Structure 1
Amino acid sequence: MAEHPRYAPLASRALIGLEGADWRDFLHNLITQDVESLTPGDIRFGALLNPQGRLLYDLFVVGREGGCWLDVAASERTAIIQRLTLYKLRAKVTIAADPTPVSALFPGAGAAPAEPGWFADPRLPALGWRGYGATAPTDAALADEAAYDACRLSLGVPGPADWGVEKTYPIEANFDLLAGIDFKKGCFVGQETTSRMKRRGTVKTRFLPLAFEGEPPSPGAEVLAGDLRAGQVLSTGEGLAMASLRLDRIEGAELTVEGRPVRVIRPDWFETAVG
């Protein structure tokens, strides 16, 4: 029997609207995702990087008639608008905050919602749907954003609290495995470093969840494989934490955090992509 969906307003997310004759070319040349083929009703996951290839901001691009929405972290919306404006130069594009609310319908079981404004999450089907000005289906239970984050963490999908700003390469945060980077498109900011990491095919560090018992470890706590440093805790939840881990040091190792044993979880989607 399918689990009833849960509906959660996402106050941590906000929208930026892009319109104008040049909006598509402008955005396509900046972010990790293909925008040239985006059509109204499409949604794609991507990121804006710094020139050195580190993650600045994650985003979802939502195709609309005559433009798009960018679904971004609400706390960073003003900074993102300012950065996009710096890149604008003479491009014919308007960039402005949009008040339309963002929500989530999860987990991704059952049929797609019939109500308008819902888009399948492009990262992982199990994450469900993202809503933009969308109403909750009648069979959905109201939930809070913490419940949505717990669902996301249970699926092994990292979030903005894990990668921060200008600290992480997108491949380390699994953007390449979660449809967040189009390696076939043309140039984007930070492409050289990103493409080089992909070509070499040896990524030493990846984000993966850890299972533990008892109180959650402190964010920033070291993950140890014996006496060797194997990574760092990033964010925590009930019984699970997201961590940045050295893949060459965790295989077959007994891991501890703050003196307690922890266990690495390799989600199915990760195993399928990485092996």
Structure 2
Amino acid sequence: MRRLPEGSHEQPTFLLECDSSVLDALQRHLVLHKIRRRVTVEPCPELRVWAVLPCAPEEAGRAVLLQEKAECTTILTRDPRTARMGWRLLSQDEGSALVPGGCLGDLQDYHRHRYQQGVPEGVHDLPPGVALPLESNLAFMNGISFTKGCYIGQELTARTHHMGVIRKRLFPVQLSGPLPVGSIAPGTSVLTKSGQAAGKYRAGLGDVGLALLRSEKIKGPLHIRTSASGLVALTASVPDWWPTPTK
């Protein structure tokens, strides 16, 4: 979410980025919570959202040399989830032309990068009614407030956080090789060497993805069964941008 600069006679305005597949559902949900406030919720189809990714981890904290236009048709802001995800660029223009020295990649480059960093996004990675905020590491990505007033799910989330017992988390995983599209269904069990359940595969692209795993199981050999009944080795890792120690 990004708050826009306010003029002397303008009402406060916020831009909220969301998964485009649930745009209508989110708009209806937000309208339900207006609670007699004079709030207008409307899409901004004229804006394009670009991800400006660092070429290397050591460049993640550097500023991009880009000036915001006075009329606010171009906005550059740090990705609030982690410095490893660089910046978000909102513009009505072609994004690559606005970033000096930038190289235009494709959407798969972006998804591979965020899977390698362990960053979930959208309803495929965070299915509504299934993905819990703390297990999805949203507290690590500025996605949960423990100081604001009541919100849906606050009591359970806050109690679990302060108890410090989070047995499962969404981990980035590396598969032993690129897999055909659809060969691993979301929710497929991830197993230990002895066949015990370690968690479930959530989503991925090629040989990288995310899996909801029990923290105590991630160090041992893991594998997953494909739709063709083949076994594929899987390695989970702890992202270096997570706070330590991990609860």
Band the TM-score falls in, shorter-chain normalisation: 0.7 to 0.9
Task: Specify the SS of the correspondent of 2:162.
Answer: helix
The aligned counterpart of 1:141 is: 103
Greater fraction of residues in strand: 1
CA contact (8 A) 1:121 1:129 kept: yes
The aligned counterpart of 1:130 is: 88
Which 10-residue stretch deviates more, 192-201 or 208-217? 208-217
Task: Specify the SS of the correspondent of 2:33.
Answer: helix
Which of the numbers 232, 242, 245 marks the counterpart of 1:270? Answer: 242
The aligned counterpart of 2:202 is: 234
Distance 1:72 1:227 in 2: 38
Task: Specify the SS of the correspondent of 1:193.
Answer: helix
Offset at residue 138 of structure 1 (A): 3.1
Higher RCO structure (Cα 8 Å, ≥6 apart): 1
The aligned counterpart of 2:77 is: 119
Distance 1:115 1:149 in 2: 27
Offset at residue 251 of structure 1 (A): 4.6
The aligned counterpart of 2:23 is: 77
The aligned counterpart of 1:86 is: 32
CA contact (8 A) 2:77 2:87 kept: yes
Which of the numbers 41, 48, 71 marks the counterpart of 1:95? Answer: 41
The aligned counterpart of 1:219 is: 185
The aligned counterpart of 2:2 is: 62
Structure 2 segments unaligned to the other structure (5+ residues): 7-11, 69-74, 226-230
Q: Flag the structure with larger Rg.
A: 2
Which of the numbers 179, 183, 187 marks the counterpart of 2:142? Answer: 179
The aligned counterpart of 2:212 is: 244
Using structure 2 for the length normalisation, give the TM-score. Answer: 0.80
Offset at residue 215 of structure 1 (A): 3.4
Matches within 5 A, 1:151-162: 151-160=113-122, 161-162=124-125
Q: Which amino acid aligns with 2:119?
A: V
The aligned counterpart of 1:18 is: none
- Residues 91 and 177 (structure 1), Cα distance of their counterparts in 2 relative to 1, 3 Å cut: same
CA contact (8 A) 1:219 1:236 kept: no
Distance 1:251 1:82 in 2: 39
Task: Specify the SS of the correspondent of 1:234.
Answer: strand
RMSD: 1.8
Distance 2:173 2:102 in 1: 30
Which of the numbers 165, 172, 180 marks the counterpart of 1:202? Answer: 165
- Residues 271 and 147 (structure 1), Cα distance of their counterparts in 2 relative to 1, 3 Å cut: same
Q: Which amino acid aligns with 1:270?
A: W
Distance 1:72 1:246 in 2: 28
Q: Deviations over 1:56-86 (max 9, x none)?
A: xxxxx11112221111111111111111111
Q: Which amino acid aligns with 2:80?
A: P
